[in-house]
């Protein structure tokens, strides 16, 4: 178990069932106080290449396992994570600045991801097709080979688990590169778990690198010819680059990217539900979630009542070092993120926005902030914030609310709060988002659902059978029983 304090020395990278120690390490910081939480292994293209080769060598045996055997491994992994839930949450406090409750939720969710992946091993892997020649005509889903998984720092347990569990259950082998901000929680923690579960050597590999070597390692994970698929969760600029490189090599990829998500509050909304959904959606994990509520669009007739209720809820959120379990609002992950959020607040205020609550920046801690009088000429309206800042904007008609929601390059998630479900369902058809949740926050996920967005929020879907489809190939196989005639000339 790695506790909240540091510094820790991590075992090394996990390649071909062995812990490998490279020549260099990098500082893995505790974002709450800037101290060194761990010394993490600093690898590059060479280590990534070795891991890819190990995964390629392991692929024939792993893909040849009977489906129930792979399912049993998934269930073992789930059981180990369940047992180590507190271990993970404690490490997440120190490495990622996460609230303890958030870490417990993440690990508990990851347990269900692997159980869902085990269940997928028992699902249909193809179809029987009609044949005009009386053939037995089948369309079968078959594993691809080596899949690279590049996971982010904000929800490292959930988003790493989702990235590799389903492809691995389908028979692919994995090379995982976690974020340099969470090399343990997003990577080496899983290496420990899968080693304990007895997953065969080479099936699952973890390589880590410092920020200075990310491009070197990342390029190898995308462009190496042995890699057949890429799973990426992260920022839209990086996702565009990865998707372009994958496309150039005709490789399949699933990229889940940023968001600028809205919560639409209609005039008949339950006010308590609406303010709770907005407060949770905007400020859970300091707003560092791709699905975070960044715009609350409120019908003008209830705008002032809603704003007062939201401010009252937000004022009760306790901010501080997440080593104290009572602190719900922790630090942003690094100084770059703080500068980004502070710049958006400053830009908005300079152009006429009003700070209703918050707005202060204290090192890496940004106060939960509500802005009003925001317009489309402000950075905070157009750009993903990824911090504890939300804008509250009035609207008068459903058409206006839909237009305000769609006024962004992103299209990940959305929420609508209303007692009129039929009205909400009609509105949901016009929202340019991959997901919409009625009477709930935009922050929603389940292991077996088609998770993903539209527009600049990504390509492909994670979760359940959609992930299995993304990370398998379709193969047409027929059996002819002598019914198809050939022309006599042949």
* Residue 39: strand pairing partners: 9, 27
Nearest to 86, CA basis, from 106, 63, 59, 60? 106
Q: How far apart are CA 97 and CA 182, in angstroms?
A: 10
Q: In a 3-state reduction of DSSP, which class is residue 219?
A: helix
Instruction: Give the chain's count of helices (H) and strands (E).
Output: 15, 25
Contacts of 147 (CB under 8 A, 6+ apart): 164, 167, 168, 172, 173, 174, 175, 227, 228, 229, 230, 231, 471
3-state helix, strand, coil in the chain (%, to 5): 40, 25, 35
Active site residue 440: no
Query: What phi and psi values does residue 485 have, to the nearest 5 degrees?
Result: -80, 150
> What is the distance of C-alpha 56 from the center of its chain?
25
* Residue 252: strand pairing partners: 229
Helix (H) / strand (E) containing 361: strand 361-362
Residue pair 283/261 in contact (Cβ under 8 Å)? The answer is no
Catalytic entry in 157, 185, 254, 290: 290
User: Both tokens of residue 259?
Assistant: 């968001």
Q: How far apart are CA 439 and CA 449, in angstroms?
A: 18
Active site residue 195: no
Residue pair 175/191 in contact (Cβ under 8 Å)? The answer is no
Residue pair 223/230 in contact (Cβ under 8 Å)? The answer is no
> What is the distance of C-alpha 145 from the center of its chain?
22
Catalytic entry in 180, 220, 256, 383: 256
User: Both tokens of residue 17?
Assistant: 């069932």
Residue with token string 């202060």: 360
Q: In a 3-state reduction of DSSP, which class is residue 238?
A: helix
User: Both tokens of residue 9?
Assistant: 């020395």
End-to-end CA distance of the chain: give it in Å, rounded: 71
List C-alpha distances in Å: 24 to 12, 43, 189, 209, 416: 10, 7, 20, 9, 49
Catalytic residue annotation: 256, 290
């Amino acid at each position: 178990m790695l506790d909240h304090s540091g510094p820790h020395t991590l075992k090394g990278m996990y390649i071909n069932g062995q812990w490998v120690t490279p020549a260099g390490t990098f500082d893995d910081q505790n974002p709450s106080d800037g101290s060194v939480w761990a010394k993490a292994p600093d690898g590059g293209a060479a280590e990534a290449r070795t891991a890819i080769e190990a995964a390629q060598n392991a692929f024939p045996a792993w893909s040849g396992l009977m489906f129930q055997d792979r399912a049993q491994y998934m269930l073992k992994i789930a059981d180990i994570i369940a047992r180590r839930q507190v271990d993970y949450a404690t490490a997440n406090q120190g490495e990622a600045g996460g609230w303890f409750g958030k870490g417990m939720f993440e690990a508990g969710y990851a347990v269900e991801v692997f159980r869902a992946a085990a269940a997928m091993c028992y699902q249909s892997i193809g179809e029987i097709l009609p044949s005009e020649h009386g053939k037995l005509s089948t369309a079968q889903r078959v594993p691809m080979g080596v899949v690279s998984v590049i996971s982010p720092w904000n929800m490292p347990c959930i988003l790493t688990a989702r990235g590799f569990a389903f492809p691995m259950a389908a028979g692919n082998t994995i090379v995982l590169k976690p974020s340099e901000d969470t090399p343990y929680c997003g990577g080496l923690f899983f290496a420990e778990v899968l080693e304990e579960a007895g997953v065969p050597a080479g099936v699952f590999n973890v390589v880590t690198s410092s920020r200075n070597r990310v491009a070197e390692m990342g390029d190898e994970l995308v462009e190496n010819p042995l890699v057949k698929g890429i799973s990426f969760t992260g920022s839209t600029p990086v996702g565009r680059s990865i998707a372009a490189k994958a496309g150039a090599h005709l490789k399949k990829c699933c990229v889940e990217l940023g968001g600028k998500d809205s919560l639409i509050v209609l005039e008949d909304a339950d006010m308590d539900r609406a303010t709770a959904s907005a407060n949770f959606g905007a400020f859970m994990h300091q707003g560092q979630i791709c699905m975070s509520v960044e715009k609350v669009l409120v019908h003008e007739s209830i705008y002032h009542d809603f704003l007062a209720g939201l401010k009252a809820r937000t004022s009760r959120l306790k901010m501080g070092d997440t080593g104290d379990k009572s602190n719900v609002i922790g630090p942003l992950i690094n100084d770059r993120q703080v500068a980004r959020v502070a710049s958006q607040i400053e830009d908005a205020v300079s152009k006429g926005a009003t700070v209703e609550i918050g707005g202060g920046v204290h090192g890496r801690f940004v106060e939960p902030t509500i802005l009003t009088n925001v317009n489309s000429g402000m950075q905070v309206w157009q750009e993903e914030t990824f911090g504890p800042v939300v804008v509250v904007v009035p609207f008068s008609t459903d058409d206006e609310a839909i237009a305000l929601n769609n006024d962004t390059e992103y299209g990940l998630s959305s929420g609508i709060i209303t007692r009129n479900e039929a009205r909400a369902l009609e509105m949901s058809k016009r929202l340019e988002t991959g997901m919409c949740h009625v009477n709930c926050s935009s922050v929603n996920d389940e292991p077996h659902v088609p998770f993903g967005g539209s527009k600049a929020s990504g390509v492909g879907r994670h979760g359940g059978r959609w992930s299995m489809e993304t990370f398998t190939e379709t193969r047409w196989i027929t059996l002819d029983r002598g019914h198809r005639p050939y022309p006599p000339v042949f």
